[in-house]
A and B are shown apart, each in its own frame.
Chain A
Amino acid sequence: EPEVTQTPSHQVTQMGQEVILRCVPISNHLYFYWYRQILGQKVEFLVSFYNNEISEKSEIFDDQFSVERPDGSNFTLKIRSTKLEDSAMYFCASSVNSYNEQFFGPGTRLTVL
Protein backbone atom coordinates (compact mmCIF):
# COMPACT_ATOMS: atom_id res chain seq x y z
CA GLU A 1 0.00 0.00 0.00
CA PRO A 2 1.43 3.42 -0.91
CA GLU A 3 2.49 5.60 1.98
CA VAL A 4 3.95 8.98 2.77
CA THR A 5 7.60 8.83 3.75
CA GLN A 6 9.68 11.38 5.63
CA THR A 7 13.41 11.83 6.14
CA PRO A 8 15.23 12.06 8.42
CA SER A 9 13.34 10.41 11.27
CA HIS A 10 15.25 12.54 13.77
CA GLN A 11 17.15 15.79 13.19
CA VAL A 12 19.25 17.55 15.80
CA THR A 13 20.41 21.08 15.08
CA GLN A 14 21.86 24.12 16.78
CA MET A 15 19.73 27.20 17.32
CA GLY A 16 20.04 29.56 14.38
CA GLN A 17 20.85 26.86 11.87
CA GLU A 18 18.76 26.11 8.80
CA VAL A 19 17.05 22.75 8.49
CA ILE A 20 15.23 21.08 5.64
CA LEU A 21 12.72 18.36 6.35
CA ARG A 22 11.89 16.11 3.45
CA CYS A 23 8.73 14.28 2.50
CA VAL A 24 7.75 12.04 -0.36
CA PRO A 25 3.95 12.17 -0.72
CA ILE A 26 1.89 9.41 -2.28
CA SER A 27 2.52 9.54 -6.00
CA ASN A 28 -0.93 10.41 -7.37
CA HIS A 29 -1.73 12.94 -4.63
CA LEU A 30 -1.99 16.62 -5.50
CA TYR A 31 -2.40 18.31 -2.12
CA PHE A 32 0.40 18.46 0.41
CA TYR A 33 0.51 19.57 4.02
CA TRP A 34 2.82 20.10 6.96
CA TYR A 35 1.72 19.82 10.58
CA ARG A 36 3.71 19.89 13.78
CA GLN A 37 3.27 18.46 17.25
CA ILE A 38 5.19 19.98 20.12
CA LEU A 39 5.85 17.35 22.78
CA GLY A 40 2.74 16.75 24.84
CA GLN A 41 0.59 19.09 22.79
CA LYS A 42 -1.86 18.69 19.96
CA VAL A 43 -1.09 18.42 16.29
CA GLU A 44 -1.16 21.85 14.64
CA PHE A 45 -1.59 22.77 10.99
CA LEU A 46 1.26 24.70 9.40
CA VAL A 47 0.65 24.93 5.67
CA SER A 48 -1.09 23.41 2.68
CA PHE A 49 0.32 23.38 -0.85
CA TYR A 50 -1.33 22.79 -4.19
CA ASN A 51 -0.37 23.46 -7.78
CA ASN A 52 3.07 24.71 -6.72
CA GLU A 53 1.83 27.35 -4.37
CA ILE A 54 0.71 27.75 -0.78
CA SER A 55 -3.07 27.50 -0.54
CA GLU A 56 -3.39 28.09 3.20
CA LYS A 57 -1.04 28.75 6.11
CA SER A 58 -1.38 29.20 9.83
CA GLU A 59 -0.06 31.96 12.08
CA ILE A 60 2.78 29.63 13.05
CA PHE A 61 4.03 29.59 9.47
CA ASP A 62 5.94 32.86 9.54
CA ASP A 63 8.77 34.13 7.34
CA GLN A 64 11.19 31.64 8.88
CA PHE A 65 9.31 28.81 7.19
CA SER A 66 9.09 27.93 3.52
CA VAL A 67 7.88 24.98 1.49
CA GLU A 68 8.91 23.72 -1.88
CA ARG A 69 8.25 20.92 -4.30
CA PRO A 70 11.64 20.89 -6.01
CA ASP A 71 10.88 17.95 -8.28
CA GLY A 72 8.02 15.59 -9.04
CA SER A 73 8.33 13.57 -5.87
CA ASN A 74 9.71 15.55 -2.91
CA PHE A 75 7.95 18.11 -0.74
CA THR A 76 10.19 20.01 1.66
CA LEU A 77 9.80 22.23 4.70
CA LYS A 78 12.65 24.65 5.37
CA ILE A 79 13.17 26.49 8.61
CA ARG A 80 15.66 29.28 7.95
CA SER A 81 16.94 30.04 11.44
CA THR A 82 15.75 27.52 13.98
CA LYS A 83 14.65 28.51 17.45
CA LEU A 84 14.37 26.37 20.57
CA GLU A 85 10.61 26.48 20.30
CA ASP A 86 10.75 24.89 16.84
CA SER A 87 11.57 21.59 18.55
CA ALA A 88 8.66 19.33 17.65
CA MET A 89 7.54 16.38 15.59
CA TYR A 90 6.82 17.51 12.04
CA PHE A 91 4.32 15.54 10.03
CA CYS A 92 3.89 15.66 6.28
CA ALA A 93 0.56 14.66 4.77
CA SER A 94 -0.91 14.34 1.31
CA SER A 95 -4.32 13.83 -0.26
CA VAL A 96 -5.75 13.17 -3.68
CA ASN A 97 -7.90 16.26 -3.52
CA SER A 98 -9.04 18.73 -0.89
CA TYR A 99 -12.09 16.63 0.05
CA ASN A 100 -10.47 13.30 0.75
CA GLU A 101 -8.62 12.09 3.78
CA GLN A 102 -5.07 13.19 4.38
CA PHE A 103 -2.46 10.46 4.69
CA PHE A 104 0.23 11.23 7.22
CA GLY A 105 3.88 10.28 7.21
CA PRO A 106 5.69 8.88 10.26
CA GLY A 107 7.10 12.29 11.18
CA THR A 108 10.50 13.90 11.69
CA ARG A 109 11.46 14.71 15.23
CA LEU A 110 13.34 18.02 15.21
CA THR A 111 15.42 18.87 18.26
CA VAL A 112 16.88 22.37 18.45
CA LEU A 113 19.68 22.80 20.98
Chain B
Amino acid sequence: AQSVTQLDSQVPVFEEAPVELRCNYSSSVSVYLFWYVQYPNQGLQLLLKYLSGSTLVKGINGFEAEFNKSQTSFHLRKPSVHISDTAEYFCAVRGNRDDKIIFGKGTRLHILP
Protein backbone atom coordinates (compact mmCIF):
# COMPACT_ATOMS: atom_id res chain seq x y z
CA ALA B 1 0.00 0.00 0.00
CA GLN B 2 1.06 3.55 -0.59
CA SER B 3 0.69 6.70 1.48
CA VAL B 4 1.46 10.37 0.95
CA THR B 5 2.36 12.96 3.55
CA GLN B 6 2.12 16.67 2.98
CA LEU B 7 3.34 18.15 6.22
CA ASP B 8 2.30 21.73 5.49
CA SER B 9 -1.43 22.35 5.40
CA GLN B 10 -0.87 26.01 4.50
CA VAL B 11 2.08 27.89 3.05
CA PRO B 12 2.00 31.70 2.93
CA VAL B 13 4.53 33.29 0.59
CA PHE B 14 5.03 36.76 -0.82
CA GLU B 15 4.42 37.37 -4.49
CA GLU B 16 7.55 36.86 -6.62
CA ALA B 17 9.22 34.87 -3.84
CA PRO B 18 10.24 31.23 -4.32
CA VAL B 19 8.19 28.43 -2.82
CA GLU B 20 8.67 24.77 -1.99
CA LEU B 21 5.76 22.48 -1.12
CA ARG B 22 6.90 19.32 0.58
CA CYS B 23 5.73 15.81 -0.16
CA ASN B 24 6.93 12.48 1.16
CA TYR B 25 5.58 9.11 0.24
CA SER B 26 5.87 5.52 1.32
CA SER B 27 5.47 2.45 -0.83
CA SER B 28 6.67 -1.12 -1.02
CA VAL B 29 6.64 -1.05 -4.82
CA SER B 30 7.80 1.30 -7.54
CA VAL B 31 5.56 4.31 -7.87
CA TYR B 32 4.46 7.02 -10.18
CA LEU B 33 4.26 10.48 -8.60
CA PHE B 34 2.03 13.42 -9.39
CA TRP B 35 1.23 16.94 -8.32
CA TYR B 36 -2.29 18.20 -8.93
CA VAL B 37 -3.59 21.73 -8.44
CA GLN B 38 -7.11 22.69 -7.47
CA TYR B 39 -8.05 26.31 -8.04
CA PRO B 40 -10.97 27.68 -6.00
CA ASN B 41 -14.25 26.04 -6.98
CA GLN B 42 -12.63 24.00 -9.71
CA GLY B 43 -11.57 20.42 -10.34
CA LEU B 44 -8.13 18.82 -10.24
CA GLN B 45 -5.56 19.74 -12.87
CA LEU B 46 -2.31 17.85 -13.37
CA LEU B 47 0.73 20.06 -12.78
CA LEU B 48 3.40 17.46 -13.44
CA LYS B 49 4.21 13.80 -13.14
CA TYR B 50 7.15 11.49 -12.60
CA LEU B 51 6.92 8.12 -14.30
CA SER B 52 10.58 7.27 -14.93
CA GLY B 53 13.78 8.79 -16.27
CA SER B 54 15.07 12.17 -15.19
CA THR B 55 14.36 12.88 -11.55
CA LEU B 56 13.76 16.57 -12.22
CA VAL B 57 10.35 17.03 -13.73
CA LYS B 58 9.07 20.27 -15.21
CA GLY B 59 5.39 21.02 -15.31
CA ILE B 60 2.97 23.73 -16.28
CA ASN B 61 2.94 27.28 -14.93
CA GLY B 62 6.66 27.26 -14.12
CA PHE B 63 6.48 24.51 -11.49
CA GLU B 64 9.01 21.72 -11.17
CA ALA B 65 9.52 18.80 -8.82
CA GLU B 66 12.40 16.51 -7.98
CA PHE B 67 11.99 12.82 -7.27
CA ASN B 68 14.38 11.69 -4.53
CA LYS B 69 14.16 7.95 -4.09
CA SER B 70 16.48 7.73 -1.09
CA GLN B 71 14.48 10.33 0.81
CA THR B 72 11.15 9.17 -0.65
CA SER B 73 10.31 12.75 -1.48
CA PHE B 74 8.78 14.63 -4.39
CA HIS B 75 8.88 18.30 -3.41
CA LEU B 76 7.28 20.90 -5.65
CA ARG B 77 9.08 24.17 -6.35
CA LYS B 78 8.57 27.41 -8.18
CA PRO B 79 11.24 30.13 -8.29
CA SER B 80 8.81 33.05 -8.33
CA VAL B 81 5.13 32.79 -7.46
CA HIS B 82 2.29 34.89 -8.79
CA ILE B 83 -1.03 35.79 -7.22
CA SER B 84 -2.68 33.42 -9.72
CA ASP B 85 -0.88 30.49 -8.08
CA THR B 86 -3.24 30.74 -5.12
CA ALA B 87 -4.72 27.23 -4.94
CA GLU B 88 -4.64 23.91 -3.15
CA TYR B 89 -1.83 21.60 -4.23
CA PHE B 90 -2.09 17.84 -3.90
CA CYS B 91 0.77 15.40 -4.05
CA ALA B 92 -0.29 11.95 -5.21
CA VAL B 93 1.20 8.52 -5.75
CA ARG B 94 0.21 5.45 -7.68
CA GLY B 95 1.78 2.01 -7.39
CA ASN B 96 3.10 0.71 -10.68
CA ARG B 97 0.50 -2.06 -10.70
CA ASP B 98 -2.40 -0.08 -9.25
CA ASP B 99 -5.32 1.74 -10.76
CA LYS B 100 -5.99 4.07 -7.90
CA ILE B 101 -4.19 7.28 -7.07
CA ILE B 102 -3.52 8.00 -3.41
CA PHE B 103 -3.65 11.69 -2.57
CA GLY B 104 -2.06 13.68 0.21
CA LYS B 105 -4.15 16.00 2.33
CA GLY B 106 -3.16 19.01 0.27
CA THR B 107 -1.25 22.23 0.87
CA ARG B 108 -2.99 25.54 0.49
CA LEU B 109 -0.66 28.07 -1.14
CA HIS B 110 -1.52 31.56 -0.02
CA ILE B 111 0.16 34.35 -1.98
CA LEU B 112 0.71 37.56 -0.05
CA PRO B 113 0.80 40.86 -1.98
Contacts and interface: CB of A to CB of B under 8 A. Distances in A.
Contact of B45 (A41, A56, A104): A104
Nearest to B32: A99
A43 B99 contact: no
**Interface range on chain B (Cβ under 8 Å from partner):** 20 to 34
Q: Is the interface of A mostly helix, strand, loop or mixed?
A: strand
Contact of A104 (B32, B44, B99): B44
A98 B106 contact: no
Interface residues of A, number: 23
A55 B13 CA distance: 42
A42 B100 contact: no
Contacts of A102: 101
A22 to B, nearest CB: 15
A105 B99 CA distance: 17
B34 A101 contact: yes
B103 to A, nearest CB: 4
B44 A43 contact: yes
B42 interface: yes
B105 A42 contact: yes
Interface in A33-50: 33, 35, 41-45, 48, 50
Interface of A: 31, 33, 35, 41-45, 48, 50, 55-56, 58, 91, 98-99, 101-107
Interface of B: 32, 34, 36, 42-46, 49, 51, 90, 92, 98-106
Given A35-B103, A55-B99, A101-B46, 15 more contacts: A31-B99, A33-B99, A35-B101, A41-B105, A43-B44, A45-B100, A45-B101, A45-B102, A56-B100, A91-B43, A91-B44, A99-B51, A101-B34, A103-B46, A106-B43
